[in-house]
Amino acid sequence: MRSITDPHELQQQCLSWRRDGLSIGLVPTMGYLHEGHMALMRHARQRCDRLVVSLFVNPTQFGPGEDLDKYPQDHEGDRAKTDSCGTDLLFMPAPGGMYAPDHATWIDVPELGRHLCGASRPGHFRGVCTVVTKLFMLAQPHLAVFGRKDWQQLAIIRRMVRDLDIPVEIIGHEIVREADGLAMSSRNAYLTPDERAAAPAIRRGLVKLADMVRAGERDVEGAKHFLRQEYARELPMGEVDYVELVHPDDITPVSAVTGPVLAAVAVRVGKARLIDNILIEV
Ligand code: PAF
């Protein structure tokens, strides 16, 4: 596996692969890799001739007071994990290496960013869309794989790619979970042992809510109230940021369940803000 830091070197290498008729897969990450990221890499690996993994803690998607400066890092571990998944090129730009000092161009999909994490983290998806577009311009991938834990991010990237005619196939990969159901996340590293022991309640509550809706519950406010109560009881140290039922494609809250809905939550547990979701097909 080759490891590079220079964006233009990445672009030259990928253009050369394209000229040779090779297909390119991209897995964008912010590092501190876990089994969830590795599943995305393995999935991409099977679908392309050359696999590029980017590792960049993108400053423009962090708001003031968020964990940009504390974001966990393990470059050596990340190198070994990307290599073990058959990565051809690991792109690790320097912290300031993706943006010119006078960078002035932004990509945003505000319609899909009004709710859930977009409401709690103003500017977050503008930063995500901008860096992902830059990565697409550099790596010129035929396909890119993102996890469904960040469902809203995935929906926004799909819409951006469609609206801007970016020639890349976006693949959403199922959520990878710990044995007790907690969705894997680099931010799980912030949890104390007690918080970690309680955190699987996030998933358990979502599963109960999904069962209720599948069994015929149609009262959205009632379902959300049930989940908040469930978290108050099962995860008393958690602070709910949002509990929402939204349309899975346009991420607008639903007032009645008439088709597939996404139940999505964000809960602060100690220093970690944990998100999870479940798609409910009725
Ligand atoms: O999901 C992430 O890790 C980040 O938002 C991404 C897609 C790598 C962009 O920085």
Which of 33, 157, 160 lies closest to 90 in space, CA to CA? 33
Candidates 34, 37, 225, 247; catalytic one = 37
Q: Which residues pair with 162 in a beta bridge?
A: none
Q: Which long-range contacts does 13-22 make (Cβ < 8 Å, 24+ apart)?
A: 13/89, 14/50, 14/52, 14/138, 14/139, 14/140, 14/141, 15/140, 17/49, 17/50, 18/140, 22/49, 22/50
Which of 103, 8, 107, 95 lies closest to 58 in space, CA to CA? 95
Q: Is the CB of 132 under 6 A from ligand 1?
A: yes
Q: Assign 64 a pLDDT band (cuts: 50, 70, 90).
A: very high
- Ligand 1 centre and the CA of 217: distance in Å? 35
Structural contact between residues 61 and 131, judged by C-beta atoms closer than 8 angstroms: yes
Q: H-helix or E-strand containing 90? A: strand 89-91
| Half-sphere exposure in the Cβ direction for 40 (13 Å, CA) | 28
Q: Is the CB of 150 under 6 A from ligand 1?
A: yes
- % of residues, the chain, pLDDT over 90: 100
The first and second tokens of residue 140, run together, are 């010129």
Return the pLDDT at 166. 98
**Whole-angstrom Cα distance, residue 57 to residue 75?**
12
Structural contact between residues 265 and 278, judged by C-beta atoms closer than 8 angstroms: no
Averaged pLDDT, 190-215:
98
**Whole-angstrom Cα distance, residue 166 to residue 184?**
29
Q: Is the CB of 131 under 6 A from ligand 1?
A: yes
Q: Which residue has the CA at smallest separation from atom 3 of ligand 1?
A: 29
Q: Is the CB of 58 under 6 A from ligand 1?
A: yes
pLDDT tens figures, 146-187: 999 999 999 999 999 999 999 999 999 999 999 999 999 999
**Whole-angstrom Cα distance, residue 128 to residue 105?**
13
- One-letter amino acid of 192: T
**Whole-angstrom Cα distance, residue 85 to residue 43?**
9
Averaged pLDDT, 12-27:
98
The domain defined by 186-280 carries CATH number 3.40.50.1100 = no
In the residue annotation, 37 being an active-site residue is answered as yes
Q: Is the CB of 30 under 6 A from ligand 1?
A: yes
CATH top-level class of 2-173: alpha beta
Give me the residue spans of the domains in the chain: 2-173, 186-280
Averaged pLDDT, 258-263:
96
pLDDT tens figures, 224-249: 999 999 999 999 999 999 999 999 99
Question: What residue spans of the chain are helical by DSSP H?
Answer: 7-19, 35-47, 75-84, 117-120, 124-139, 151-163, 193-198, 201-214, 220-234
Structural contact between residues 23 and 140, judged by C-beta atoms closer than 8 angstroms: no
Query: What's this model's pTM, rounded to 2 decimal places?
Result: 0.98
- Ligand 1 centre and the CA of 91: distance in Å? 14
**Whole-angstrom Cα distance, residue 116 to residue 259?**
19
Structural contact between residues 9 and 91, judged by C-beta atoms closer than 8 angstroms: no
Averaged pLDDT, 33-54:
98
Return the pLDDT at 240. 98
pLDDT tens figures, 78-129: 999 999 999 999 999 999 999 999 999 999 999 999 999 999 999 999 999 9
Helix (H, G, I), strand (E, B) or coil at 92: coil
Q: Which residue has the CA at smallest separation from atom 9 of ligand 1?
A: 128
